[in-house]
Amino acid sequence: MSEEQQLSFEEAMERLEAIVGRLENGDVPLETAIELFQEGMKLSQLCGSKLEQVERKIEVLIETENGFQKKPFAPSNEDRGE
């Protein structure tokens, strides 16, 4: 499980897509199919939970005497819309 948590979202999605592709192509031994299914379900949960991690981290780089530093950034006139 800890190994899966270290997967990036992209890696997890790609693995999930590959698993679904293999299962749909058939010719997978039943035991393998069940293992793949279980792995696929875990991956789909992992991907889903990664999408739920809403950080809204928006930062701006400010040049200081000590080099560049990150500061939170809020665009002006945000409520004006487009």
Partner 1 sequence: MALESRIYSIKEINRYIRMKLESDPLLGDVWLRGEISNFTHHSSGHMYFTLKDADSRLKCIMFASHNQKLPFMPKEGTKVLARGNFSVYERDGNYQFYVTQMQPDGIGSLYMAFEQLKRKLDGEGLFAEGRKRPIPRFPKAIGVITSPTGAAVRDIIITLQRRHPSVPVLLFPVLVQGKGAAPAIVKAIQIMNRMAEVDVLIVGRGGGSLEELWAFNEEAVARSIIASSIPVISAVGHETDFTIADFVSDLRAATPTAAAELAVPNIAELKSGISQLRTRLYQSLRTSAMRRKERLDRVRRSPIFMNPRKYMLQQAERLDRLKERLEQRTLRKAERSRDKLLRLQGALAGAHPGEKAAFEAKRLQAAAGRLESAMGSLMKERRMQVASTIRQLDALSPLKVMSRGYSLVYDEKENRLIKSIEDVQPGDLVKVKLADGQLDCQVWAMKGET
Residue among 6, 53, 64, 66 that touches partner 1 (CB under 8 A): 53
Tell me if 5 contacts partner 1 by CB under 8 A.
no
Copy the structure tokens of residue 34: 């069940």
What does DSSP assign to residue 7?
S
Residue 78: count other Cβ atoms within 10 Å of its Cβ. 7
Chain residues in the site for partner 1 (CB under 8 A):
8-10, 13, 16-17, 19-20, 23-24, 26, 28, 30, 33-34, 37, 40-41, 44, 47-48, 50-61, 68, 70, 73, 75-78, 80-82
